[in-house]
Amino acid sequence: MKELQRKQRIRRIVYSIPSLIILSIVAFFFTKGAVKIVDKELESSARVRDLEAEAITLMLREQELKKDIARLETEEGIKEEIKDKFNVTQEGEHIAVIVDERRSATSTDIFELSWYKRLWSVIISPYDK
């Protein structure tokens, strides 16, 4: 009988309002910690993906630079680079310069605009300098 009374007293203590509130608070903090851990895991996995992409980009850049170094180790590569950087030619070479035809401004260009754009350009033109 005393054993039964002792068990009932323990149940009353465990299921009482103050103990349930304390238990809820403890559960809340545990849940909050678990959510923070999950957030950090997601953040770190995104960071890992970014770093892997950056590593791949850097490896491709390294291969490109190795090709450029190999090209610059030859005499033809050196001559090409000098021509590109300094815009020079060797003796006996000729360069053709191709110039695109530019459209000259005419007084009819402004009348192709709508009336409010023409008005706005007239208002803004003194401040356009």
What amino acid is encoded at 8 in this protein?
Answer: Q
Whole-model pTM over 0.95: no
pLDDT given at position 56? 98
3-state secondary structure of 7: helix
Looking at per-residue pLDDT, the higher value among 86 and 70 belongs to: 70
SS3 assignment for 32-55: HHHHHHHHHHHHHHHHHHHHHHHH
- The pLDDT tens digits for 35-58 are 999 999 999 999 999 999 999 999
- What spatial distance separates the first Cα and last Cα of the chain, rounded to whole Å? 103
pLDDT given at position 119? 84
- The pLDDT tens digits for 76-120 are 999 888 888 888 888 888 877 788 877 665 555 555 778 888 888
